[in-house]
Amino acid sequence: MSTEKPLFPPLLRRIGLRLGAALPALFCVILFTFIMMRVLPGDPAVYFASGPNAGQAEIQELRHRMGLDAPMLVQFLHYLENLATGDLGRSLTTGQSVAQDMHDRLPASLELTLTALAFSLLISLPLGLTSAWWSGSIYDQCVRAFCSACFCIPPFVSGILLVYVFYYWLGVAPDPTGRINIFLPQPPRVSGLLLIDSALAGDWTAWHEAAGQLVLPALTMALFVIAPLTRMTRAAVISVLGADYIRTARAMGLPTWRIMIVYTLRNALMPVLTTVGIVFSTMMGANVLVEKIFSWPGVASYALDALVSSDYAPVQGFILLMACLFILVNLVIDLLLGVLDPRVSVE
Amino acid sequence: MTMTDFMTRFRRPDIGRFVRRQPVAALAFAGLSAIVLLALLAPLISPYDPLASDVPHALLPPDRLHWFGTDELGRDVFSRILAAARLDLSIAVSAVAISLVAGVTVGCFCGYQGGWLDRVTGRIVDVLTAFPLFVMAMALVAVLGNSIANLIYATAIINFPFYIRIARSEVAARRNLGWVEAAHVSGTSPTRVVLMFLLPNILPTIVVQASLNLGWAILNAAGLSFLGLGIPVPTPEWGVMVANGAHFMSSGRWWLVVFPGGMLMVTILCFNLLGDGLRDLLDPRTRS
Amino acid sequence: MAGYAVSRRTFLSTTLGGGISLGFASPGAALAQSRRETLRHVTGGAVNTLDPTMLGSTRESFGLSMSVYDRLMTFGSRSIGDFSTFDPQALKGELAESCDVSPDQRTLTLHLRDNAVWHDGTPVTAEDIKWSLDRCVSANSLARPQFSSGSMSSAEQFRVAGERTLEISLPKPDRLAMANLAMPYAIMVNSRLARQHATSDDPWAQQWLQHNTAAGGAYRVGAFRPGVNVTLDRHEDWHGGNRPFFERIISQTVPEATTRAGLIERGDADIVIDLEAYDIMALSRRGKVRIDSIVQSNCFTHLAFNTQSAPFDNVLVRRAIALAIPYQDLFAASIFGRGRPLYGADWSGHAPAPDFPQPLPFAQNIRKARELLAQAGHPDGFQTTFSYATSQTTTAEPMAALIQEALGHIGITVRIDKLPDAQFNTMQARRQLDFYTDTAAGWIEHAYYFFYLYFTRDQRWNFSNWNSPRMVQLVEKARFETDEAAYVAECQAMLELLVDQVPLILLWQPNMDAVTVPDLTGFIYQYYRQVDFRTLARS
Amino acid sequence: MTKPLLSIRDLRVSFVSDRTHKDVLHGVSLSVERGKVLALVGESGSGKSVTGLTTMGLLPRQATVTGGSIRFRGEEITGHVPRSLRGAGIAMVFQNPRAALNPTRRIRDQLSDVIRAHGKVDRAGLQARLTELMHQVSITDATRCLNAYPHQLSGGLCQRIVIAMAVACSPDLIIADEPTTGLDVLTQKAAMDLLLRLTRERDMGMILVTHDLGMAAQYSDDVAVMRHGKIVERGTPEALFRSPRNDYTRQLVAACPTATSLLEAPEATVARQAAEPVPLLEVRSMVKEYQNGFRAVDDVSFVIRPGECLGLIGESGSGKSTISRLVSRLVDPEGGEILFNGTPISTIPAEAFYRASQRRQIQFVFQDAAGSLNPRYTAYRSIVDPLLRMGPVPDGEALRALVVRTACSVGLSEEMLERYPHQMSGGQCARVGIARAIIVSPDLLILDEPTAALDVLVQAEVLALLERLRRERGMSYLFVSHDLHVVRMLCDRAIILRRGRIVEAGRCDDIFRAPQSDYTASLLEAIPHFSPGASV
């Protein structure tokens, strides 16, 4: 855009710095999860060699195959070595490599979370903006009550309730069994996000189906984060409204909508964006329950299943994935902030 | 100024003011007081032993004898809800208290010291807060074993970074304020500055966060116990009751979900609204 | 979903308008016909491998492999009232047309079906069968220990005796040998295809077969997404039994039991077998589905003690507890009476039949329980922990609460410990659980086999860690017993020993509740407790 | 006399919150004519800003107009200023220009927003208008400025942009609310000259809201002095400042530091000590560098002799505050030496200095008096705290007596001691801050702009207090300020700083009479003043 300042070198430098700073944290995460997974009670070998005739020999064999009989440090070094080559280990629950499982399932979680995020932003941005605009009014109090109400419904309750009402009772929602009508062929995988893939393939039936499947789980997820997002938006807008330039804009007789959108919301977006980053990564990992209730083939339910069966590799892989995702999301948000706020890109 | 303001607002003559300015929060406070009272008086007012089973009278709908009906073992739902209130509130309070004390200590120290230690802690805390905390809590309960104490620890541990973060930023924001520098000039030792100057001043903010956090802690505990982690049977707990009751939802036994679920939601709602109200009182931006 | 779903959706879009229904559009009526020919099976578990012998394979994998792979033998079926169940006595050929047993019962001669072909169209040969059986006893898999229970442990025991004939020689006559050939592990593999994917590290192609098949069963695998779904397409050249009705099977993982119940009730899924008892109650009350309730005859739920640790090493303590258990309440509260009680029998001293599991003569008698406990030296009771695994929560939780209460009456303080399955299994295998509940199912319904599996040897399935020389002796004797009367007597002796020593308390046999759409027929309860897709049909 | 552009009659405004009802304007009447500047002068809280905001219809929600009328161009606009009038009829220029501009929008867009808000313009027309505006506000580098974001421009440029915005739609009246707060003296002058020129050229009216009497005198045609929501005196600047009739006005004028004003202090009880060979404080080639390489203090050396008051003058960013914090050992210097009574104290790290014996002897008075008091301490605790920390602590009654005595000496009554900071006025807070510093009888008192946040009258009182204390107690002062007049009144010698370096040092009288450097000269020149004959 602007020709005076070289855009790329500082940009790349920023990305590099950010990623570099994240490495120690990443290592901590790896070490931490490794240790935690190992102190988890339950011998995975026993669990998996649980056929009625499996004896000690089979258990021992499985332990050996899983490398569980080596000293802890050796196991860890081995794990790091594998990580370096992109090998996250093998899941015993699905029998596939964890990397493959992640590759298969991450798009499902991403699609769900992104949709949920979009829903919640669509709801909370206007709510936050308007309740801040009329802060202290009855409307404001109502919005607050609504948000608190959304927040206090545990996702497991709201999920079950939504399914109950919209699927069993009204019958308007499709069955809560995954991402797309099971009888339809899946669109060829490009991005893994069904909405995108089916649109690319021009398969609008599939698109509608996939979109339909998304509505309820995304709404369940969204409900839970509406409160923090609205709260943040409201606070940000209120602080922007107190700024001198809003007063200037009013004094210059700018139309209200322009003050609201261009002057207020635009500036309030920056703190909101930071929150969105946190919300996004927590949603990705934390909504295990939603994925469970809607049989969503995502990474969180995958990790949960693995956790219950002491299948180490997927849980480690999952947490690592989350950490990487978090770093990535933060990076993206950082760059977005740079775009949104001209002041950031200068320092 | 805002802090003292906050404290003085709660002197008696200001209660009316609080009610006028924050009617919703005042209502929430009243509701919460009622719940706490019910929980405290539970052993006195509950009509039945919350643990005594009576299988022949299982799954009775609400009636004169059993106000909220009975569950699958014939236990009185009303008595169980009261007993659960006691448990849930104490879980939430102790979990929040533990993480608050630990988090504020670490956060104050880091925020005041600054430097590389602070930056490292900051980054770690950042990563931790973005962690799949719920999964982490699950793993923690799995590691530590199923017991109420462990549920409390798990909830406390995943809250811990949150308090570090608040305490850290609150302290860091005040570290260079005039009155802190004035304390240095007055010959105050750094420890004393943190304990006697900074801590009392950040406490109101922390208290507000804690009240919001209490609701979250209850929710978290309920979520974990919904997945069958933490609370051993037959201890009554709202999340467990909802989880069990959900099974009977489709056969029309609504009272097993509606009452405990309702209590759960009302309690969390009260904590949130109260915390929100307090925050608004505190936040100078929302005041004229 | 399409067929009848369409009308519902049409109704919707007219009443609710575009808003909501936009997202929930119909896939179109074109699928309606094929929907009738397609079976949608939903389950809480997941298929994790296509090779059932892999260590760690799930029960769903076993079930799936029954339709994908053929075995040499298979069990017939019999009717119990309106429903059907497998018949352990009626062994018949599947890939084998017939099986001759030599008079000394040490040689089995199997004749393969003439028209048997693999999925790729190549004919099944005795070489293939030899390789498959070798694989079972040689490869490091779950098949090896299973086969050893049928006295098959070495590749030398299998001999190709013709293009379509194979001989199995046994060291001793073993009553379980033939039944073992029908087990889920005994898959017959297209050896030519499998060998192409074998490596020197992996001579039995175990890696490759996890995600691929070299089979010749009634269905071939269309798509396999571990933990999500599997689709099967009918193998038109299959002759191992009657031609299956369904052209296509979709087996899908739906973790929430309530969701599965809803899918069935709304007709979106066709069959589900792993619903919770309370959902089945609700479904049956509303009557929109067909429910096949069949007692799982090879299965039992029990309370186990660690008979080698105090205080349960004292038989009096075990007897006292057996008298303190509120059986009726447990049966009603845990599984809503959906099963067959294994308590409260009237034996008058002797086991009436050589069967296991069967109802044992236990009933609640608190007064007597107190006396026994006092005799055992615990007049004031003691403290103990009752454990169960997370996956058993729905039945074990009310059970635990009732047991805690009941044992409280005789002074025993019970702490309840719910453990994640992995931890539970580990502790069970390491003998760290004192008092717990579990459910077991044996694949081969022979009384002696159950006793061999669950009451002898130092292995995980000896639930109560019971070391009774008398039991070991009886089991060893019964295994190779050729005299039927002696076998019956031995089995009865084992049963009586069990009642006397109470290493564990039998509670009940839960029902298999297969919930289907009303027009689905042909469900047969199978010992591996999964759906056999081949017999299902739409009326 | 033509018909007034704006006439306000008996305007009454009150703030309502939680049933409390506070009148802030009690019947204000004034009028502005085209081409003329009316200055509204008063201390903070006098209602001068509210008057401006009411005229614009920008009152906060809880404020209501309870009476009176505002007529603009003969039209009644009280309570409902049409949007079309704001910007196009009446425009406003705010203080702190950088904050008054939207930080995330280019200047071009912000100006265009204003122009488009009052009528359709095509692209070419818009560009022409922008160029013309830039020219009018004397911005030469128009393209760069238009494409820049506010943070990329200096404060002075930002203020020009704000002015350009204000005049963009050719309003008839400009309300300038403290238009130069936050600007340095030199920039301040430029901005005011510009505003005045535009007013004259375009024949607009202007209301100049300010607390600075000098500015009012220099740039207005009429002055109205406000106090407690009322106008107490009105008149031409000459008449008003030369011979104020009202008592309050008279006090104001007297308190305003000018080139000639002197502190009225009692005769010295302790005479100013003569120069002694050993200085109390000696700073040698001190350097303070920040992490980004910026040198806030660059090779600064000076001495303070016992009983002397040294003034440190500079604009914002000149490093004067950093020097005060270095000398008071709140931060560590990167180079150079600080000797106190001949002992080097720069070797003791700042975080350990609280233990040093010199801590008691070097005390500090902060710029933001209220902000330098622990909000949770009463005045008593704030004052007694240093004594408790550093001793010697007299026992029991004597301690309280000492605190009361000290408070008395700074003009605080005993009952004030039980108050919290938010219950005290700015002046009272400042007194507590001073009492806290002197209770341990320091030898050197560092005063970092102690009066910058105070109103003129209070400032005068505090300055007098400081002068008295110095004489009574024989302390030395390092007095940091941007206000040359204040420094001249209080200090013996002064140092002028610019960008971390000393540009001039010497006796105050010499510097002010005959500045050696051009910079000092231009600073002196730029201060608005109302000495006779200087107006307009």
Counting one residue from chain A and one from chain D, the pairs whose CB atoms sit within 8 A come to: 84
Residue C356: pLDDT over 60? yes
Q: How far is B77 from chain C (nearest CA, A)?
A: 15
Same domain, C323 and C459: yes
CATH of the domain at A139: 1.10.3720.10
Same domain, A14 and A135: no
pLDDT band at B104 (very low <50, low <70, confident <90, very high): very high
For residues C515 and C185, what is the distance between their CA atoms, to the nearest angstrom?
27
Tell me which residue range forms the domain holding B220: 21-44+66-286
351-390 in chain C: CB under 8 A from chain A: 390
Same domain, A77 and A149: no
pLDDT in tens, A50-78: 555 556 777 777 777 777 777 888 888 88
Whether the Cβ atoms of residue A52 and residue C443 lie closer than 8 Å to each other = yes
According to DSSP, the β-strands at D501-507 and C339-341 are unpaired
Residue of chain B with shortest Cα separation from A285: B132
Same domain, A105 and A67: no
Same domain, A63 and A106: no
Q: Does the beta carbon of C145 lie under 8 angstroms from any beta carbon of chain A?
A: yes
**For residue A168, which residues of chain C lie inside 8 Å, CB to CB?**
262, 265-266
For residues D339 and C177, what is the distance between their CA atoms, to the nearest angstrom?
101
Q: How many CB atoms are closer than 10 A to CB B150?
A: 17
Same domain, A121 and A203: yes
The number of distinct structural domains making up chain C is: 3
For residues C412 and C405, what is the distance between their CA atoms, to the nearest angstrom?
9
pLDDT in tens, A141-188: 889 888 888 888 877 778 878 888 888 788 888 888 778 777 777 778
77-106 in chain A: CB under 8 A from chain C: 92-96, 101, 104
**For residue B133, which residues of chain A lie inside 8 Å, CB to CB?**
282, 285-286
Same domain, C527 and C413: no
D94 vs A343: CB contact, 8 Å cut-off?
A: no
CATH of the domain at C257: 3.40.190.10
**For residue C417, which residues of chain B lie inside 8 Å, CB to CB?**
145-146, 232
Which helix (DSSP H) or strand (DSSP E) does residue D480 occupy?
strand D476-481
The number of distinct structural domains making up chain B is: 1
Residue A66 tokens, joined = 């899983």
Distances (CA, A) of D43 to D256, D452, D499: 12, 13, 32
Distances (CA, A) of B125 to A32, A320, B132, B162: 14, 16, 13, 8
Same domain, A117 and A79: no
CATH of the domain at B144: 1.10.3720.10
Give domain D280-361+442-527's CATH number out of 3.20.20.140, 3.90.1010.10, 3.40.50.300, 3.20.20.105. 3.40.50.300
Same domain, A225 and A293: yes
Domain boundaries, chain D: 6-255, 280-361+442-527, 367-441
Could you tell me if residue B218 is inside a domain?
Answer: yes
Q: How many CB atoms are closer than 10 A to CB D509?
A: 12
Could you tell me if residue A318 is inside a domain?
Answer: no
Could you tell me if residue B176 is inside a domain?
Answer: yes
Whether the Cβ atoms of residue D436 and residue B185 lie closer than 8 Å to each other = no
Same domain, C497 and C395: yes
Residue-wise pLDDT tens for chain D (536 aa)? Answer: 467 889 999 999 988 876 678 888 888 999 898 888 999 998 888 888 889 888 888 888 788 888 888 988 888 888 778 888 888 889 988 888 888 899 888 999 999 999 988 888 888 999 999 999 998 888 888 888 899 888 888 888 888 899 999 888 889 999 998 888 777 788 888 888 898 999 998 899 999 998 888 888 888 899 999 988 889 998 888 888 888 888 888 888 888 877 666 666 544 444 445 555 678 999 999 998 887 778 888 889 999 988 889 999 988 778 888 899 899 998 889 888 999 988 899 888 888 888 888 899 999 999 888 888 988 889 999 999 999 988 788 887 889 999 999 999 888 888 889 888 888 888 899 999 999 999 998 999 999 988 877 888 888 888 989 988 888 888 999 999 888 888 888 888 999 998 889 999 988 888 888 888 888 888 888 877 665 433 33
Q: Does the beta carbon of A13 lie under 8 angstroms from any beta carbon of chain D?
A: no
CATH of the domain at C409: 3.10.105.10
Could you tell me if residue B4 is inside a domain?
Answer: no
Same domain, C166 and C41: no
Tell me which residue range forms the domain holding C231: 8-63+217-277+517-538
D360 vs B187: CB contact, 8 Å cut-off?
A: yes
Chains near C with 3+ CB pairs less than 8 A apart are A, B
Q: Does the beta carbon of A273 lie under 8 angstroms from any beta carbon of chain D?
A: no
For residues D1 and A311, what is the distance between their CA atoms, to the nearest angstrom?
93
C24 vs A160: CB contact, 8 Å cut-off?
A: no
Same domain, A204 and A245: yes
For residues B4 and B25, what is the distance between their CA atoms, to the nearest angstrom?
20
Residue D58 tokens, joined = 């920008």
Which helix (DSSP H) or strand (DSSP E) does residue C38 occupy?
strand C38-43
Helices (H), A171-265: 194-201, 204-241, 244-251, 256-258
Mapped onto helix, strand or coil, the DSSP state of residue A139 is helix
Residues A167-179: b if buried by 16+ CB within 10 A, e if exposed: bbeeebbbbbbbb
ipTM of the complex: 0.77
Which of the residue ranges A277-291, C38-52, D389-403 has the most confident prediction, judged by mean pLDDT? C38-52
Same domain, C125 and C162: yes
Same domain, A61 and A157: no
Residue type, D481: S
Residue B91 tokens, joined = 């879980």
Same domain, C371 and C393: yes
Which helix (DSSP H) or strand (DSSP E) does residue B80 occupy?
helix B77-113
Residue of chain C with shortest Cα separation from A97: C226
Same domain, C230 and C351: no
- Please name the residues in contact with C468: beta carbons below 8 A apart, sequence gap of 6 or more: C455, C456, C497, C501, C503
Q: Mean pLDDT throughout C419-444?
A: 88
Could you tell me if residue A314 is inside a domain?
Answer: no
Q: How far is A117 from chain B (nearest CA, A)?
A: 15
Residue type, C129: I
- Please give the pLDDT value at position C411: 92
Same domain, A155 and A300: yes
Written out in words, the top-level CATH class of the domain with range D6-255 is alpha beta
Could you tell me if residue B51 is inside a domain?
Answer: no
Distances (CA, A) of D80 to D54, D55, D58, D59, D72: 10, 10, 10, 11, 12
For residues D459 and D476, what is the distance between their CA atoms, to the nearest angstrom?
20
Residue D152 DSSP symbol: G
Strands (E), C71-116: 73-80, 83-93, 96-101, 107-112
Could you tell me if residue C410 is inside a domain?
Answer: yes
Could you tell me if residue B248 is inside a domain?
Answer: yes
Could you tell me if residue B59 is inside a domain?
Answer: no
- Please give the pLDDT value at position A48: 62
Distances (CA, A) of C18 to A166, C527, D241: 16, 49, 76
Q: Does the beta carbon of D83 lie under 8 angstroms from any beta carbon of chain A?
A: yes
- Please name the residues in contact with A215: beta carbons below 8 A apart, sequence gap of 6 or more: A173, C20, C23, C24
Could you tell me if residue C312 is inside a domain?
Answer: yes
Residue C142 DSSP symbol: S
Could you tell me if residue A331 is inside a domain?
Answer: no
- Please give the pLDDT value at position A188: 81
Same domain, C266 and C341: no
Mapped onto helix, strand or coil, the DSSP state of residue D312 is strand
B127 vs A148: CB contact, 8 Å cut-off?
A: no
Same domain, A282 and A164: yes
The number of distinct structural domains making up chain A is: 2
Tell me which residue range forms the domain holding A208: 101-309
Residue of chain C with shortest Cα separation from A39: C423
Same domain, C504 and C365: yes
Could you tell me if residue C199 is inside a domain?
Answer: no
Phi-psi region of D291 (alpha: psi -120 to 50; beta: other; left: phi over 0): alpha
Residue of chain D with shortest Cα separation from A259: D113
Residue A197: pLDDT over 80? yes
- Please give the pLDDT value at position A80: 86
